[in-house]
Amino acid sequence: MSNRLASATSPYLLQHADNPVDWWEWGDDAFAEARRRDVPLFISVGYSACHWCHVMAHESFEDEAIADYLRENFVSVKVDREERPDVDAVYMTATQALTGHGGWPMTVFVTPDGEPFYAGTYFPPTPHHNLPSFGQLIEAVHGTWTADPERVREAAGRITSSLAERQMAVDDAEMSTAAVTDAVKAGVDSLASSYDYVRGGFGGAPKFPPSMVLEFLLRAHALSGDPRARAMVEGTCAAMARGGMYDQLAGGFARYSVDADWVVPHFEKMLYDNALLLRVYAHWWRATGDPLAARIVEETAGFLLSDMRSAEGGFISALDADTEGVEGKAYAWTPQQLIEVLGDSDGQWAAALFEVTESGTFEHGLSVLQLRTDPQDVDRWLLVRDRLLQARANRVQPGRDDKIVAAWNGLAIAALAEAGALFERPEWITAAVESAQLLVSVHMTPQGRLRRVSRDGAVGVHAGVLDDHACVAEAFDVLYQVTGEPFWLERAEGLLEIILEHFGLDDTGGFFDTADDAEQLVLRPRDPSDNASPSGWSAAASALLMHAALTDDRRYREAAEASLAPLVSLGARHARFAGWGMATAVAWLDGPREVAILTPDPASSLPTPDPASSLPTPDPASSLYRAALLSSAPGLVIVRGVVGSAQPLLADRTVIDGVATAYLCRHFVCDAPTTSPTDLARTLNSRTP
């Protein structure tokens, strides 16, 4: 029989709808039931693509005896961390404080008032590696509660108070040019000290894609010319793209590498990783022209459009790590399997190319495909890749978490729009626009606020958190620059007004993750540090600074500066956890720079073709735009339009000699206009703010 989760919209909760556990969804009803029975709540937090969540579900939550014990002594609550990042943030803070580490599945026991008193992550079905079994754990927790519930409540209260005090402790930095410049250098120094100069990436195993840190390093190199910053980007991007964490057949990145060499991935593919990495590789290509970067951009954008789009035009959350309960089953190969698909000659060639060995690089004699060097015979490579993709498509495919998360779609919109402009791929821009239209039509309330998730075109009930509003605001501002449609600028401004009104700015110069009128948890989560994606705080600072550059509205710049100060302080000491904030700080140092490109009018913006030439005459407006677009100036914004436009960067400006003209500005104070793409590029590539 199905439990209460059968009516959930979350794919993760629906995976547990047939468990014998008497699950409740998070909400007032569950807490009311705990108070009525005077029992603690067992809160299990995970997500659809989580391998160990599936393992614990199979080992413990499908066990009738475990289910009976939980039903009798607890109120059991299942939470999708991607649907309720606020709940996850509160109890992950507790888990990390109590155990020194975190992860999913997250296992938390709380009082009927929601205060945590015991926490952990995965627990096995039998005692293992100094962990009690899950059955032993729940018996011990029940015994402690029944022996002295008031003592447990007092301890839970102390834990909660301590967490609240720790959460509010945030250091500020001086927002002067000299102080921020010093902090940026300190951040690069910190990263250089933990960089793996042999394998790329930072630290040891496991290695996660440091997307936001790479964006910071690209901007730091563009501003200062520090060769270490560029070397760390190139080494890491190349290593990730060559290893098993990147899908060498279909494109797209897995969540992380379990080893230090980027060979064996944790196979789940997340939207936020691929969106962030698409943007990084596009910017790496822009800075260097590296052909590997170009290939990864093409393939990752193709993966997003082919494998992660929903029927409604948005982008789904994830592809599972598991197939038929086995992690990586859809992706790994033996040499014999390659020969069966390709024949003896091509099969052996492919095994050598992909480093597929008899002993295997993964498990059970299987290997994950790597591409450490580019094949010399490109035609043969393309044919082999296509045949292997066709064969892989005949395998059982990983499950899809097909919910649409607003924040992650914001990341995908910005990445696809920027990459589409850089690579002149209008279909990528169209996909970004369609996702943005879905967010406006489905996720946006009549008051202009965002809901967190939708599925099958139906919006969920959960209010959007800070990163939803911030990531989508920046995405809309990027779309405004790429499409020239003022609609997106206006929608971005509406979201930023909501951020300023409901999420901060408090006396310490930062933002809360939840709105002031959202559901009140035992803590109001507030975290400046980036995790797998930008923190809501750093995303808000970035969006505010970009919008200020587009509108010259001092309120947005002042709000960005106030929120940046703690991020700069954090980044100077712990840059691995503040990449997005530090990238924004570099943009702040650079101005950011603003480019306005004007044409006389739509009819005269193109020159008259030369009848003696068989080649089309270059469009001067497009040439200026391309020169600006290819600049790596940190935080650069670009707006195009005709003379007489009321758009902020374009208003009250004119053209020179009746041809397309570019203005390069900081804070809307502009250099002398130019009609020369070469001059514009030279000025933009200057590192002098």
pLDDT at 613: 45
Task: Establish whether the linkage from the previous residue to 105 is cis, with ω within 30° of 0.
Answer: yes
Looking at residues 608-619, what average pLDDT do you find? 50
DSSP assignment of 453-484: EEETTEE-SSBP-HHHHHHHHHHHHHHHHHH-
pLDDT at 59: 95
pLDDT per residue over 260-299, tens digit each? 999 999 999 999 999 999 999 999 999 999 999 999 999 9
Amino acid at 475: A
pLDDT at 609: 45
Q: Which two tokens stand for residue 144?
A: 């402690």
Q: Are 566 and 172 in contact (CB under 8 A)?
A: yes
pLDDT at 686: 80
- Give the whole-number percent of the chain exceeding pLDDT 70: 96
pLDDT at 164: 86
pLDDT at 109 over 70: yes
pLDDT confidence bin for 172, thresholds 50/70/90: confident
Cα–chain center distance at 15: 24
Looking at residues 48-57, what average pLDDT do you find? 91
pLDDT at 653 over 70: yes
Handedness of CA 108, 63, 330, 11 (dihedral sign): negative
Polymer length in residues for the chain: 689
- Which among 492, 511, 495 has a CA at the least distance from the CA of 559? 511
Q: Are 284 and 217 in contact (CB under 8 A)?
A: no
Is residue 596 classed as helix, strand or coil in its secondary structure? strand
* Strand pairing class (23-25; 75-80): parallel
∠583-236-386 over CA atoms, to 5°?
Answer: 115
The CB-side HSE value for 29 (13 A sphere, CA atoms) comes to 6
∠108-399-315 over CA atoms, to 5°?
Answer: 90
pLDDT confidence bin for 632, thresholds 50/70/90: very high
Q: Are 639 and 650 in contact (CB under 8 A)?
A: yes
- Which among 68, 75, 123 has a CA at the least distance from the CA of 99? 123
Helices (H), 38-148: 51-56, 64-73, 85-99, 134-147
DSSP assignment of 372-384: SS--S-HHHHHHH
pLDDT at 602: 61
pLDDT per residue over 302-311, tens digit each? 999 999 999 9
- Which among 277, 287, 280 has a CA at the least distance from the CA of 247? 277
Range with the poorest average pLDDT among 54-58, 299-303, 454-458, 601-605: 601-605
Cα–chain center distance at 382: 30
**How far apart (Å, rounded) are the C-alpha atoms in residues 210 and 381?**
29
Looking at residues 549-571, what average pLDDT do you find? 94
Cα–chain center distance at 214: 13
Query: How does DSSP classify residue 444?
Result: B
∠79-73-50 over CA atoms, to 5°?
Answer: 25
For residue 596, the cross-strand partners are 639, 663
* Strand pairing class (106-110; 400-405): unpaired
Neighbours of 394 (CB within 10 A): 8
> Residue 606: phi, psi to the nearest 5?
-105, 135
pLDDT confidence bin for 1, thresholds 50/70/90: low
Q: Are 370 and 265 in contact (CB under 8 A)?
A: no
**How far apart (Å, rounded) are the C-alpha atoms in residues 299 and 384?**
16
**How far apart (Å, rounded) are the C-alpha atoms in residues 520 and 522?**
7
Neighbours of 497 (CB within 10 A): 15
Is residue 111 classed as helix, strand or coil in its secondary structure? coil
What is the average pLDDT value for the chain, to the nearest integer? 93
Looking at residues 170-176, what average pLDDT do you find? 79
Is residue 403 classed as helix, strand or coil in its secondary structure? strand
Q: Are 247 and 253 in contact (CB under 8 A)?
A: yes
pLDDT per residue over 588-602, tens digit each? 999 999 999 999 976
pLDDT confidence bin for 606, thresholds 50/70/90: very low
Cα–chain center distance at 258: 19
**How far apart (Å, rounded) are the C-alpha atoms in residues 182 and 444?**
41
Q: Are 505 and 559 in contact (CB under 8 A)?
A: yes
pLDDT per residue over 204-258, tens digit each? 999 999 999 999 999 999 999 999 999 999 999 999 999 999 999 999 999 999 9
**How far apart (Å, rounded) are the C-alpha atoms in residues 509 and 567?**
10
Q: Which two tokens stand for residue 428?
A: 């990528």
Amino acid at 289: G
> Residue 514: phi, psi to the nearest 5?
-120, 155
* SS (HEC) of 481-536: HHHCCHHHHHHHHHHHHHHHHHCECCCCCCECCCCCCCCCCCCCCCCCCCCCCCCH
pLDDT confidence bin for 688, thresholds 50/70/90: low
**How far apart (Å, rounded) are the C-alpha atoms in residues 306 and 334?**
26
pLDDT per residue over 177-209, tens digit each? 999 999 999 999 999 999 999 999 999 999 999
pLDDT at 456 over 70: yes
For residue 656, the cross-strand partners are 659
pLDDT at 208: 96
**How far apart (Å, rounded) are the C-alpha atoms in residues 115 and 309?**
39
Looking at residues 74-84, what average pLDDT do you find? 97
Is residue 155 classed as helix, strand or coil in its secondary structure? helix
∠436-442-444 over CA atoms, to 5°?
Answer: 80
pLDDT at 608 over 70: no
Name residue, tokens 């007092």: 154
> Residue 315: phi, psi to the nearest 5?
-120, 130
For residue 75, the cross-strand partners are 41
Cα–chain center distance at 385: 28
pLDDT at 603 over 90: no
